[in-house]
Structure 1
Amino acid sequence: MVHRYATFFKAINLTVDYLVLNVSMVAAYLILDDSLIVWINNKNYLPVVLVFNLIWLLSANITGLYEQVLNKDSVKTYRSVFQTYLLFVCLICVTILIIIGTKAYFITREYLFYSIVLFGTMLAFWKLIFLTIRRSDRAMLNDSRKVVIVGAGRAGNELRNYFRNNPFRGYELLGFFDDEVSRITEKNLYLGNTTTCMDYVLNNQVDEIYCALPYSEHDIIERLMIDADKNLIRFKIVPEYHEYIKKPTYLQSFGNIPIISIRPEPLENMLNRGTKRFFDVLFALFIIIFVFSWLFPILAIIIKLETPGPIFFVQLRSGRDNKPFNCYKFRSMRVNSDSDKVQATRSDSRITKVGAFLRKTSLDELPQFFNVLIGNMSTVGPRPHMISHTEQYSQLIDRFMVRHFLKPGITGWAQVNGLRGETKTTDAMLERVEADVWYLENWSFILDMKIILLTFWLSVKGDKQAF
């Protein structure tokens, strides 16, 4: 059952990687200055350590280095390590050499070179050791568990198919117990009725019982549960709701009453929401003060010179909880009567020359940082749609409105995954909605940082979907 050890080995990998990183930094310091006492007391050195560690965490999250550490083969593992290391080096160089500067903390280029090279060498050697250990212990990690299923209805049969299709999980299904023999499609898997279950389990060293009986059989369920507890057998209940919820769910308890949420929403937590809002305000102020302030007059003059009309394009769009708000952009089209109904298309005759550049580089979205400051948008989130599109697609796509649980964003998970621009078909919009809902369910501050970095990279590299 590799999955039972995945979290443990992920933690081991993360811990050792950080140990290797910090040892390499200390070693580089001692190579250049062999005074250990100076290193310990050097207050200028501590911020550098923090920067290195945070950037490694960010790089690893962007590349998914610690995902599936027990399943990825050796080639994929080293490829992930190399990608993460390369991104780490780039971010370190940008952060230290350009943003922070080497003089502020007395960092030398020699120190950067030694620490980065030492870290890369030691990291490669450690991953080789890990892969060797992992290979030798595969048999131990795949310890199987004997299980039986009580109830051969739809839930029980779907569970059987899951065990059969996922052998790496390590479950050895011995068979079914059910009071109706006719429900067993594979007769060789029938083990008896529910009254004989515990005797079989004890005589055959079964590890776990999965009960897939309907709630109406609560007397049988309770008896089996009590007997399993008495005999140290793990007892697990397969609830009936799985028939209409086709995805992982989130379970809460109100006293002894289980409450099932059909999706996790990290941003329902006030701390998470406060963290996101705090970052939004700081980031928006930074962009407005250091980018928008000097770029605005230049773009304003060019826009006015090319075509008559306002500098800003203001459009009513759908916000959080489907409340409309005025969304601001630099005008990238000639003034026209279709702007509130028709999406921009490739080679759209309405787009001006400067507008094409603004849209290609996403600079037309800069005024939306004022929306962020006001509070009706976030830096990262689902892109806000025109009111007409919200009304149209909410009737065609079941989960379309779910994306409105969040504030709309200047950029989002859909956009950095190539799902921006014109949506010619309902299927194209469905893909975008699925990406937005995935973001809602998997939000983290690190994920926001990843999306912002990818957005910046796509703006520099050029996104073929931006037009």
Structure 2
Amino acid sequence: MNYRQGRYSGFIKPLFGFIDLVILNGSIFIFQINLNDINLFGAYISVLWIIIAVKNHFYEIQRHTRVIHIVQLLFSQIILFAVILYAYIGLFKQPNISRLALGNYLLLVSLLISSLKFLNFFLLKKYRAILRGNTRNVIVIGKNEKTRQLIKTFNTRLDFGYKFKAQFSVNDEGFSLDKCFNYIIENNIDEIYFSIAELSNKQINNLIDFADNNLRELKFIPDNKDIFSKKLKYEYYDYIPILSLRTIPLQEPVNKFLKRLFDILFASFIIIFVLSWLTPILAILIKLESKGPVFFKQSRNGFNYDEFYCYKFRSMTPSKEAHLLQATKGDQRITKVGAFLRKTSIDELPQFFNVLFGEMSVVGPRPHMVSHTNMYARRVDKFMVRHFVKPGITGLAQVSGYRGEVETDKDIINRVKYDIFYVENWSLLLDIKIIVQTFLNVLKGEEKAY
């Protein structure tokens, strides 16, 4: 989960992935491998190393990961890399390559990358244990042997980086989930751990809803209740089994890095090759029809519920109520130029600057006006789950028929349903599919594009 209290561990894993690529490519020059095309070889090993690492979850080292798991990851990564390394000889017909030099190269990069991985792992542990950095505030709900062991783990394994703040016993006089909820909000609790055995199914559902709607991570100390029918992630903290309810692909640093790289490349392409010449033309047309700025900015809620200014080409006459009132069919505020911009979705193009600035993504749940977000958060269950990822210029809900004006509660409920599906099932291929579908919808026109 991504937390509001600035944590930078998400940048550490992509950084070490980049360092690994530097090691792979820099070590080539140490040995006389007799390569015909060093650039081809470098591209080949870099791309395949990344592919193997993604499939192998090579960079998915958690704060509670055991050393033996790191050894297993290194072994499988290096073995697979060795196979593709020697496959290069036959694949690109390079008989002059020195097998001995290639073996020495493999040995060196294996030692360097393994040493770096263990150094990173142990330094982060020391950083958490001694400097108390990279920590997460946690509470425990329930009082039994399992919770006692877990709290002991939190308090003794400082290298895990958890700050145990409070325990709530269901059997204590005056216990209520509302008191827990207030404590969580007031003390900036990041993760909630609770014993399934001590709560009713209704209380568990209330706890799940609270965690979803308030961007808190919920983890279970398991027993045999029907919660096991859900999709769960099973982990060990020392020897304590822990379950997580929701897994989000974009929590994984490799996926986050790939999506951000795609966003930067795609946004840069649109800005350089489309907006560079289109903006002056539209600026003239917008100014000729009505007075006011060329661009319109509106405060919206994005990742982790943070507010940001979302940019558009102005399509309406200036109004003080613009930040409160959504455009409706036949809206008199829409200009003639604006009607064309909105029909073709060209008015959304300046949001590629939001993407470049890191406030938005090309694909993601569409951000709402702040006033509407506050309203929907109260009315629509799990609406806040959309804010676990960056908002997008287009999204799965939009290409599925739920773009534009929210006319009924059914519209926003279905939009949230598609947004949550996207959050839980993200892939780069899904992003590309949504972008293509968005482009096709623009060409054929959409009924709610007004």
- Give TM-score, length-normalised by structure 1: 0.48
Which protein, 1 or 2, shows the higher relative CO under an 8 Å CA cutoff with sep ≥ 6? 2
Q: Could you say which structure has the larger radius of gyration? A: 1
